[in-house]
């Protein structure tokens, strides 16, 4: 059995700065695996370990995502191989375009892929759409919000948790699943795994070399930091006499 886990590499939002014109600058940001994708890697790694399956990480991310440290970081968390398209076309790509690139990588996996595991959403867009689009491109079933999964008689059985109901669903393979962060707590990569990661195979190409089409289905007009809503900022302190009463009067005024 072969399992692929899709990982988006994004700039660390802690390092993204906002310019005076409210535009964002991520040129100095470190590249990291999108937060919830770490849970997807863990869930996929646990399933692969339980089934004796081979786990391959796939990624279509920005041009800096091919950085050696990012590769090792992903490979230190369970996958045996990494296939990546690193190209700035994928920094803001729509879900269909990203899914087409991932589908290409799925096709590159030796022996084919039985299951693709995705996070429910990436840190930047949080659309939860790449998994569905990928399933459509591959022509396979898709389910999301998965909080547990196991193999049973050649089919995948998932627990799917929504606000008001928990469903047990059987998914015929091959398939794509979107997993909730709840499914598994990411392992802390130890030095043993980190050292081994550098020896695992990784293939990184840009879009042209990978032979994928980057013409998008969505255009981006702008990405700007929001203007902070103008708040009154009347601050009271219980250390000052009369402040508590003044605060209560102000609050009573707005809740009535």
The DSSP 8-state label assigned to residue 23 in this structure reads: B
Residues 146-185 that bind another protein (CB under 8 A): 157, 161-172, 181
**Interface with another protein, residue 243, by CB under 8 A:** yes
Decide: is 218 part of the binding site for another protein (CB under 8 A).
yes
Given the structure tokens 């015929």, which residue do they identify?
172
Q: Which of 19, 208, 209, 224 is the binder for another protein (CB under 8 A)? A: 224
Which H or E element spans position 81?
strand 81-86
- The Cα 9–Cα 58 span in angstroms is 10
DSSP H or E stretch at residue 44:
helix 35-51
Instruction: Count interface residues toward another protein (CB under 8 A).
Output: 94
Residue 3 structure tokens: 């399992």
Nearer to another protein, 6 or 132 (CB): 132
Scanning residues 38 to 57, which ones bind another protein (CB under 8 A)?
Answer: none
Identify which of residues 1 and 127 has a Cβ nearer to another protein in the complex.
Answer: 127
Q: Does 19 bind another protein (CB under 8 A)?
A: no
| Residue 208 lies near another protein (rule: CB under 8 A) | no
Six-digit token pair at 20? 């005076």
**Nearer Cβ to another protein, position 63 or 169?**
169
Q: Which is nearer to another protein, 110 or 239 (CB)?
A: 239
Contact between 57 and 75 under an 8 Å Cβ cutoff? The reply is yes
Instruction: Say if residues 96 and 136 touch (Cβ distance below 8 Å).
Output: no
């Amino acid at each position: 059995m072969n399992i692929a886990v899709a990982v988006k590499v994004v700039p660390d939002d802690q390092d993204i700065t906002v310019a005076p014109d409210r535009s964002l600058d991520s040129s100095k940001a470190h590249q990291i695996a999108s937060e919830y994708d770490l849970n997807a890697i863990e869930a996929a790694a646990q399933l692969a370990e339980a089934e004796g399956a081979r786990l391959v990480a796939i990624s279509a991310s920005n041009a800096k995502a091919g950085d050696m440290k990012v590769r090792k970081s992903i490979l230190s968390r369970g996958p045996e191989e990494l296939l990546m398209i690193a190209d700035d076309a994928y920094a803001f790509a729509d879900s269909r375009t990203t899914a087409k690139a991932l589908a290409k990588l799925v096709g590159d996996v030796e022996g084919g892929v039985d299951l693709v595991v995705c996070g429910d959403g990436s840190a930047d867009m949080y659309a939860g759409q790449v998994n569905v689009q990928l399933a459509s491109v591959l022509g396979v079933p898709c389910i999301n919000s998965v909080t547990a999964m196991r193999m049973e008689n050649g089919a995948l059985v998932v627990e799917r948790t929504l606000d008001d109901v928990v469903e047990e669903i059987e998914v015929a393979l091959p398939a794509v699943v979107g997993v909730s962060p709840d499914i598994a707590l990411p392992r802390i990569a130890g030095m043993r795994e980190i050292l081994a990661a550098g020896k695992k195979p990784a293939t990184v190409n840009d879009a042209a070399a990978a032979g994928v089409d980057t013409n998008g289905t969505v255009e981006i007009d702008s990405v700007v930091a929001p203007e902070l809503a103008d708040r009154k900022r009347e601050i009271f302190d219980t250390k000052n006499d009369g402040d508590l009463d003044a605060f209560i009067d102000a609050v009573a005024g707005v809740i009535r």
